[in-house]
Chains A and B, each alone.
Chain A
Amino acid sequence: GAVVSQHPSWVICKSGTSVKIECRSLDFQATTMFWYRQFPKQSLMLMATSNEGSKATYEQGVEKDKFLINHASLTLSTLTVTSAHPEDSSFYICSAGLTGTHTEAFFGQGTRLTVV
């Protein structure tokens, strides 16, 4: 199946700094990628849909100025958590899929963000 790579796997940052997470489709092109967040012992919640060459679409309640998404190429989407605070500590995971219907999303390995 298709491979989605996410980097870094884990990151610790100081409160007030920004952190960038990369999501790459390694062997296919993805015009659309998705970013999810998972708080401890909870399910995955969709944060935003990343569209290549255009603005991301954010889910209700997600601050677009805080979670900056850039999808500059067909194989790379980035999520930047700006001015991170401890409450932003979470597991962030991206997904992408092959074009067309009857396909499933392939998930990255996830990024564990800890803000201290």
Chain B
Amino acid sequence: NAGVTQTPKFRILKIGQSMTLQCAQDMNHNYMYWYRQDPGMGLKLIYYSVGAGITDKGEVPNGYNVSRSTTEDFPLRLELAAPSQTSVYFCASSYAQSNEKLFFGSGTQLSVL
């Protein structure tokens, strides 16, 4: 099992550019999440999904969009990248939402210059 796979691992964007961070899981988990991790800050939830076709905003959704067309995939779209979106992005999944451990991907280091 690969678990949660994220691509790319590193990316540099110019201000105003757009990109999609890819996330796929092979554990047949219903719940998937996107977090960002900034130095000295705890992981912050951007968006989450409770199943294919269903997504909802987390704590810091502004500037991002998501879609969930299949159980396996949960891409995160950045439109009009800004320096404030420089961060490490983690995708995670879980079998259930309550009291369930999260399985994380290895992260995407994004710099917006």
- Chains A and B come from one and the same complex: no
Residues of B that sit less than 8 Å from A by CB: none
Q: Which A residues fall within an 8 A CB radius of B?
A: none
